[in-house]
Amino acid sequence: MSKIARQQSTHLPPDTRRTNFNEVVCGYTETEALTESGRCLQCKDPLCTSGCPVRINIKGFINFVSKKDYKGAYKTITEANLFPSICGRVCPQDRQCEAACILGKKHEPVSIGLLERFVGDMAQQNGWQETRPIVPINRTAAIIGSGPAGLACAYDLAKAGVSVVVFEALHLPGGVLTYGIPEFRLPKERVFKEIENLTRLGVTIETNRVIGRIHTIEDLMGRLSFDVVFIGTGAGYPKNLGIKGDALNGVMSANEFLTRVNLMRGFDFPRYGTPVGMGKNVAVIGCGNTAIDSARTALRLGPENVYIVYRRTLEESPARKEEIRHAIEEGVQFICLTESKEIISDNEGWAKGMNCVQKDETGSSEFLLNVDTVIYALGTMANPIIARTTPELTIDKAGYIETNKENMITSIQGVFAGGDITRSGGAFTTVIHAMSTGRRAAKGMLEYLEAVIAANGRPPKFRG
Ligand code: FAD
Ligand code: SF4
């Protein structure tokens, strides 16, 4: 058993980081990465890989790191995952690969995420890319949405020789990686460099293309002659509480808030033209990743107090544990076991307070929280645009697209779906989970192309 302690990465001190958007976790130095890789037991039957939704050969890549063969490590990771810099930073490793690490039973698990990030960043610094001979197979795929699900699907299809076009509604690709997760946790430069590897493989990404508005799925498979389609549109539709005061000025959804700050670079206003409109006392309602990101982002915009108001206990929060710790260190105040009942208005239609009820085993108490900004981070919903323009698509009551589990096929021949627009993630919707569904769909799409084309010459025209 390893006697070496788990290597901790340097972090920016809380007082410094709450004043800027610089990355909080600095990542391993080479010495730290080598020491950490030396902790891996190189188990005969490793369990860590089964904890990774895309099944990275973790033992294999860590072995390469320990021998300083970083390129070998990169090649091993990218067999399964083109985004090591991203996943190393945002995966909830404590619930996935690291939770399965055998060393973790008696000691601390190997820091798989930080090692993966080290390799991904090293590849970016050295301009390594995923290169492999690609044999075109004269087939075309349209991917709707450039989040992790769509991009992972595009990667596997491109490797198999399919010509892939990704249609993205926003002006930049990446989905939540770009518009949702803040710069201090996931620098956008890292995201775009990893996406560049995909375009180098020949994948075309067309931004500012809202499918459902400019083309329907029927157009894609008919007039535009795509053989297969993947829907990876995420679940970015905001949810509110439906309480009195929801529509007041100063009340907004986390999606709107984070998009303003991340995508429109509102944190750099007035250099960039998008103001964010932050008050002095901010309440974020909810306690998942989105809520923690919203609270920490709000804190960096200079209010006096930022609260997280959560109806459960902190232990029950689905957010990454590390982010909760960071939020506490930075000064976010948690008010748990508390429900928001009403947002109170001033005379001019702006929020000026929130009535709350706190409940514990001894009973319940009401109080007024003095806040002028309220951010809803209550989870999201499926955007209805694709389903509305494609009535043949079977959706569930809440608007999520129904697929089978094995290959993510929808009710329409040749149309597949994955990521947050399906319910595939269950209670935990994560980047790597979305990627694993994108990969499963790509496998299904390739099988479909092979089978249908073998029988018909070309896939049939659109048929629901
Ligand atoms: P998305 O990432 O939502 O991407 C969908 C894309 O489709 C978007 O770019 C959207 O613009 C585009 N689109 C939508 N409709 C159309 C259309 N009609 N035409 C064309 N394009 C369209 N997970 C983690 O693992 N770790 C974390 O730390 C983490 N933090 C998070 C923080 C926040 C703030 C949020 C919101 C989520 C977080 N998650 C995290 C969850 C994770 O980001 C999502 O589960 C994942 O991004 C889902 O991927 P996706 O590809 O399904 O959708
Ligand atoms: Fe762990 Fe995520 Fe990397 Fe898989 S992709 S090994 S779950 S950090």
Averaged pLDDT, 220-232? 95
Last residue of a domain, one of 355, 380, 405: 380
Q: Give me ligand 1 centre to Cα 409, in Å.
A: 20
Give the pLDDT of residue 1: 53
Q: Render pLDDT for 335-382 as a digit per residue (tens, 0 to 9).
A: 999 999 999 999 999 999 999 999 988 899 999 999 999 999 997 788
Distance CA 219, CA 347 (A): 51
* Ligand 1 touching residue 93 (CB < 6 A): no
Give how many domains the chain has, as a whole number.
3
Same domain, 373 and 419: no
With respect to residue 133, please indicate whether it lies within any of the assigned structural domains.
no
* Ligand 1 touching residue 453 (CB < 6 A): no
With respect to residue 4, please indicate whether it lies within any of the assigned structural domains.
no
Q: Which amino acid is at 130?
A: E
- Categorize the per-residue pLDDT at 311 as very low, low, confident or very high, splitting at 50, 70 and 90: very high
Predicted TM-score (pTM) of this structure: 0.94
- pLDDT(310) > 90: yes
Same domain, 38 and 121: yes
Torsion angle, alpha carbons of 50, 54, 55, 61, to 10: -130
Same domain, 265 and 218: no
- pLDDT(131) > 80: no
Same domain, 263 and 355: yes
Enclosing domain of residue 296: 239-380
Q: What is the CATH number of the domain that holds 87?
A: 1.10.1060.10
Q: Which amino acid is at 19?
A: T
Q: Is 27 exposed, middle or buried (0-12, 13-18, 19+ CB in 10 A)?
A: middle
Distance CA 294, CA 300 (A): 10
Q: Give me ligand 2 centre to Cα 87, in Å.
A: 6
Q: What is the CATH number of the domain that holds 448?
A: 3.50.50.60
Instruction: Judge contact between 84 and 123, C-beta under 8 A.
Output: yes
Same domain, 171 and 108: no
Same domain, 165 and 182: yes
| Beta partners for residue 140, in sequence order | 163
Averaged pLDDT, 301-322? 93
Mean pLDDT over the full length of the chain: 93
Last residue of a domain, one of 92, 126, 160: 126
118 three-class SS = helix
Q: Give me ligand 2 centre to Cα 109, in Å.
A: 13
Same domain, 79 and 186: no
Q: State how far Cα 360 lies from the chain centre.
A: 33
Ligand 2 surroundings by CB, under 6 angstroms:
52, 54, 56, 58, 81, 87-88, 91, 93, 96-97, 112-113, 116, 432
Ligand that comes closest to the CA of residue 441: 1
